[in-house]
Amino acid sequence: MNNLIKVITKDGSISFKSEKFNENFHSKAGAYYETKNKFINPSKLERFQNKSINVLDICFGIGYNSALLFEKLKKIEFSNLNWYGLEIDKRPLNYALTDKKFNDLWSPKVIEILNSLNLKSFYKNKNLVCNLMIGDARKEILNLPKELNFDLIYLDGFSPQKCPEIWSYEFLSQLKNKINYEGYLITYTSAAAVRKSLKNLGFNLFNIVPTLSNKNNWSDGTLATFYNQPNNPYIKQLSEMEIEHLNTKASIPYRDLTGEMSSKEILEIRKKEQQFSKLLNTNAWRKKWEMA
């Protein structure tokens, strides 16, 4: 079964549940809410006033992250936007564009871009070029222009346990090669395996500060950058608890040695490695920080 089932999230915005991955595209709190707080605010788009900006949206899905990015950038006088999206399934955007609620969220200009991406996987105007590449992100990333590096990379796949192929050390190392020095890689996940891989690749890691309505969460995600002192009110240094998390068995990376392993193979290899690992037990870490 590979259906997409429509879901209305708590902020009223629509999303989907994927039967194949047995997971929702967004948290129940809200698709729009997630995009705004976990991706767009920490992007600090005002940095790009009068500048060119290159953006890569991985696991584009319905397109919330980029639709809101386009809306916000319209209000900033940027000079050029070169945008790439990677997505394996054309249906989420196609289905969402038939929904009135989804259409009502966006300005006519952004709907024009989304319609064009839906029909032609391409859009162009005087200061904006968009290419949506349909296929497995592991393959499509190799088809991006060689000379192009990104200022923003959004990584918004299903959770690592459901879709480990796009969180593997090998895939993340491809992203390392495609990001500018001051670029931000932004993701909603705080998973230790992802953070540890990024750390081992040389990224500086920051916690995306949870919004007030989400204050019971210790993190709204991860911002990774080679720049060591980003001036950004939406992020903070990792806490002692989060640093310790990176020394637990949960931090064992997802490995995809051939770049085409199945989810099942990736999960099995990691499970074996965890069984033999001498790293701190993740439950002991949870207990210590009263999360058991």
Ligand X SMILES: C[S@@+](CC[C@H](N)C(=O)[O-])C[C@H]1O[C@@H](n2cnc3c(N)ncnc32)[C@H](O)[C@@H]1O
CB of 85 to ligand X, least distance (A): 9
Question: Residue 219 in contact with residue 242, Cβ under 8 Å?
Answer: yes
Which positions touch ligand X (CB under 6 A)?
A: 25, 59-65, 86-89, 92, 136-137, 156-158, 163, 165-166
| Residue with smaller CB distance to ligand X, 59 or 238 | 59
CB of 32 to ligand X, least distance (A): 10
CB of 13 to ligand X, least distance (A): 10
Helix axis angle, 64-74 to 108-120, nearest 10°: 140
CB of 197 to ligand X, least distance (A): 17
| Residue with smaller CB distance to ligand X, 92 or 248 | 92
Query: Token pair for residue 31?
Result: 């698709």
Distance CA 226, CA 180 (A): 8
| Residue with smaller CB distance to ligand X, 166 or 238 | 166
CB of 151 to ligand X, least distance (A): 18
| Residue with smaller CB distance to ligand X, 14 or 224 | 14
CB of 249 to ligand X, least distance (A): 25
Identify the three-state secondary structure at position 220: coil
CB of 146 to ligand X, least distance (A): 20
| CA quadruple 194, 58, 158, 138: dihedral, nearest 10 | -80
Q: According to DSSP H, which parts of the chain are helical?
A: 31-34, 41-43, 64-74, 91-96, 100-104, 108-120, 137-140, 169-176, 192-200, 240-245, 263-276, 282-288
| Residue with smaller CB distance to ligand X, 45 or 166 | 166
| Residue with smaller CB distance to ligand X, 92 or 253 | 92
Looking at beta carbons, which residue is closest to ligand X? 61
Distance CA 163, CA 185 (A): 18
Please spell the DSSP secondary structure of 12-54, one letter per residue.
S-EEEEETTTTEESS-TT-HHHHIIIIIIHHH-GGGGTTSEEE
| Residue with smaller CB distance to ligand X, 31 or 246 | 31
Query: Token pair for residue 286?
Result: 């949870």
Q: Checking phi first, is residue 93 left (phi over 0); if not, alpha (psi -120 to 50) or beta?
A: alpha
